[in-house]
Amino acid sequence: MYQEKYKSSASLFSMNYIKKNSIIGIGTGSTILHFIKYLRKLKHCITGVVSSSIHSLNILKKYQFCILNCNNVEKIDVYIDSADEIDYNLMMIKGGGGALTGEKILASKSKQFICIVDDSKIVKKLGKFPIPIEVVPMSVSHIKKKLISLGCFPILRKNFTTDYGNKIIDAYNLKINNVLKLEEKLNSYPGIVTVGLFAKQSADICIISGKLGIKILKKNNKNS
């Protein structure tokens, strides 16, 4: 109950970063449902939206947003998304909803990446939440063996196919000493499409909502 309230509060606060005539990247997940509902009131002031997933796209269509094709957009002004975990360096684990590839593409095309979360998602060290890894179907067994060799417990997500026809392996108990190096290492394995570690595409700003109100974390460490 309280988490939904906090998600809503963080989403409402993020409206302060929505500028007139801007292109907005839309993430995926329960927090983003709150964000979309608030953004509806400003939809006539923005140029349009780019969606990270089919799920979010269908909701945006329902609310009659001006939807832009990602291939036709050179730069997204601001990308709004949430996270499964985010640390104080604004690096994240994302992809619990399975949309990590679309999310990472939009993050890489955005001038500004704002993460909105309730305070249960902020952590000192990433890794309690399993790392989602999108893989092409023929590489599932190979990648699982690779992950086991790294000391983790990989589980193929059952009855789930991504928007791009791929599978998700959730890597449990994978030790993370250096987020960026681990992301790069996993990305080097043939068959892996996207890793749910967002180190290179970390957030610029994180809006955290909790019982004490709103807290802002910024990449340059000027927090409030």
pLDDT > 60? residue 199: yes
Structural domains of the chain, with CATH: 2-124+200-218 (3.40.50.1360), 131-196 (3.30.70.260)
Query: Which residues, in sequence order, are CB contacts of 172 under 8 Å at separation 6+?
Result: 130, 152, 153, 154, 155
* pLDDT class of 222 with cuts at 50, 70, 90: very low
Q: Determine how β-strand 131-135 pairs with β-strand 23-26.
A: unpaired
Sign of CA dihedral 38, 162, 206, 67: negative
| Catalytic residue chosen out of the listed positions 85, 103, 134, 183 | 103
Does 104 count as an annotated binding residue? no
Does 30 count as an annotated binding residue? yes
Decide: residue 219, CB within 10 A, 0-12 exposed, 13-18 middle, 19+ buried: middle
Q: Which of 199, 165, 167, 161 is nearest to 180 (CA)?
A: 199
Cα–Cα separations (whole angstroms), residue 113 to 128, 192, 203: 23, 24, 5
Does 96 count as an annotated binding residue? yes
- Mean pLDDT of all residues in 105-133: 98
Q: pLDDT (tens digit, 9 = 90+) per residue, 150-194?
A: 999 999 999 999 999 999 999 999 999 999 999 999 999 999 999
Does 118 count as an annotated binding residue? no
Q: pLDDT (tens digit, 9 = 90+) per residue, 118-127?
A: 999 999 999 9
Please give the Cα distance from 151 to 140 (Å, whole number). 17
Q: pLDDT (tens digit, 9 = 90+) per residue, 1-12?
A: 688 999 999 999
Q: Does 4 participate in catalysis according to the annotation?
A: no
Residue type, 117: V
